[in-house]
Structure formats: C-alpha cells, structure tokens
Homo-oligomer: A and B are copies of this chain.
Amino acid sequence: MSETAKKYKIAVIPGDGIGKEVTPWAQKALEKAAEGVAEFEYEKFDLGAERYLRDGAILPEGEEERIKKTDAILLGAVGDPRIKAGILERGLLLKLRFDLDQYVNLRPSKLYKGVTSPLANPGDIDFVVVREGTEGLYCGAGGAVRRGTPNEVATEVSINTAYGVERVVRYAFQLAMKRRKHVTLVHKKNVLVNAGDMWQRIVDKVAEEYPEVSHDYLHIDATTIFMVSNPSRFDVILTDNLFGDIITDEAGAVVGGVGYSASGCINASNEYPSMFEPIHGSAPDIAGQNKANPTAAILSAAMLLEHLGFDDAAKRIHAAVEADIEELGSTTRSTDEVGRDILARM
C-alpha cells in the first residue's frame, strides 16, 4: 500500500439471489484495480430478503445513517419471490435512491466484441442512458380506495419538478460534451402533456448553454423501435424514471444480455454517497448455482472508481473485461471462473 493512497469507506449491500454471488467479485475487482492509489475499507450490510424474513427489518434508520456516511455503495440486487412485490424494492432500493438523492441513474450500453447480440445487424452500439432517479412515477404517490371491491380505484401519480428535471438535463448535456455530442430526449409528450412539455422546455433551455451538442426528441414507443432497428443512432438518451427503467432493459437485451450492463445511481452534487449496481435483478431462478455472470457487477465497480476520480483504475477494469469477453465471451463459465479470468487480466 502506497503511503499516499487515499482512504475510502465503501458500503457493500450484496442483497438477494445472485446479488450475493456477483458482489464479492465487484469488491475484488475494485480492490485490485485501485492497488496503490486508493485504500478501501468495507462495511457490509445485511439487507434484503433474508434479513426481512428473519426480523422484519428492511432499512433500519441506524443502518441507513451508516450508509450515508460512506463514500460509495456497491449493491448486488434486491428482490425475492417469497416477498410481495414492492416491499423490498420500495423499502430498500428505491428508498436509498431517493433518500440519498441519487438523481442521475447512469446506464451505459455497449456491444462488446465477442458478445452475440440478438439483432441480425446490430452495428456499433455505444450509448448511455441518463435516467432521472428521484421523481416521476417512482415517488410512491398514489393510493387505492375500496380495495378488493368491484368499486376499487387505484392511482399512481408521477411528480416532476423543474428543479429535479433541470439538474439531470444539465448532467446529460455535460456528459454528451465528453462523448459524441448528441442528446435524445425520450418521453411521451403527446399524451403526458404536462410532464412532457416541461421536460421539453427545460431541454430546449439548457441546450442553449451547449451549442456544440445537438438534440432531438423521440416518444418512448418509437424509441423501443429504434432500439431494435438502429441502436447506433443513440449517444446520450435522457429520460424520466419509468421510461429509463424500460429502455435500459431493452438496451441490455440488445447488447447481448443484462449480464454486461452496469449502472450508477449518482448524487452528482456529492452530498450523499452514490450507489453502483448491475442492472440485472436477483434472478431467483439461477441463484445459488454459481452460474450468474459477474461482469455487470465488476463493471459497476469500474463506475464507482470513475465516480471517485480514479479513471486509470477504472480503465484497468474495462480493459480486462473487454479482453475477457472478446476471448471467452461465448464460452460457458461459472460465476467464479469469469471473476477469476477477469481478475487475472488486470
């Protein structure tokens, strides 16, 4: 350990299912990539389905306070078929994203050499989705009356603020400046006229500050078409919480599977730690079988390093992952084999 290495505290939340199998590999990659430049201390949190089933706790205040004091979070996956949909998602994963004000949900999609896309002619795919992370239909507003009766009415409310939209729009344009300088706003402004109109106006306004960046607009439905027919057209996709959830899963499929897609839930003003996670879920069907691909989790460690400013360390992970996929991407390997192979190249 070099004496000048900076020290960071990382919260590790392996969570459920394959989250527990892939997260140790993210941690090992982090460790190895940062050797000599950063020193990490880990605090592991036992949160997720098993904890909930054991003692009913989802995200106790004391633990959330400790998480808030770390420098970054590595998360595996959350969700378990034994638990009613929404309890862990809303109580743990989304609660962290909201309470820690992680307003940029950053999701790169890249078709790596050696990965077979389900598309016949995928072309060069390399774009980033900037998904708003703290508003929209995810805010938990809504309710139900006369539940379980023929007169039940259930609502869901999408809340969107100029404050919340503008900061993520600005992030997208700044990101585009470092990339191919194109932003595509995705919404459904011909139906969701209140929110859609606000998003479009704010994009048009912020765009004036970035004359080098071009921008266009697509409806979410049309975007799902282009994602299949011409995904190379995208550079930075900017969208709200729900549309971002949907389009990044389709994007993950198009680049050969969500096993290669990492994401960062970023508090770009750094008041709270940012959180890095593979976009895949807990995959109960293959959990505990040493089958899950740890590549997405390992790539989320690279995003964590970039976020802390260790670009060279992040590049070491990217280079190892790219070489691994190119050479061995089409072979069937266990979680641990892929992890070891990638680590060996670093």
Listed stretches A36-44, A158-166, A320-328; interface member: A158-166
A99 at interface, CB cutoff 8 A: no
Interface core residue of A86, A154, A163, A201 (most chain B CB under 10 Å) = A154
Q: Which residues of B contact A154 (CB under 8 A)?
A: 160-161, 194-195, 197-198
Q: Which residues of B contact A191 (CB under 8 A)?
A: 86, 89-90, 94, 137-138, 242, 245
Q: In the complex, A116→B224 CA distance in Å?
A: 18
Q: In the complex, A20→B183 CA distance in Å?
A: 33
Q: Is the CB of B155 within 8 A of A156?
A: no
Listed stretches A23-31, A143-151, A286-294, A302-310; interface member: A143-151
Interface core residue of A79, A152, A163 (most chain B CB under 10 Å) = A152
Contact with B along A146-190 (1 / 0, CB 8 A): 111111111111111111001000000000000000000000111
A1 at interface, CB cutoff 8 A: no
A220 at interface, CB cutoff 8 A: yes
Q: Which residues of B contact A148 (CB under 8 A)?
A: 201
28 pairs, A vs B, C-beta closer than 8 Å: A85-B193, A85-B196, A86-B193, A86-B196, A89-B190, A89-B191, A90-B191, A90-B193, A94-B191, A118-B119, A118-B228, A119-B120, A137-B158, A137-B192, A138-B191, A142-B192, A149-B162, A150-B163, A151-B161, A152-B162, A156-B192, A156-B194, A220-B246, A221-B245, A221-B246, A224-B250, A228-B250, A250-B250
Q: Which residues of B contact A224 (CB under 8 A)?
A: 224, 246-247, 249-250, 253
Copies of this chain in the oligomer:
2
Q: In the complex, A213→B254 CA distance in Å?
A: 31
Q: In the complex, A224→B137 CA distance in Å?
A: 19
Q: Which of A109-148 contact B (CB under 8 A)?
A: 116-121, 137-138, 142-144, 146-148
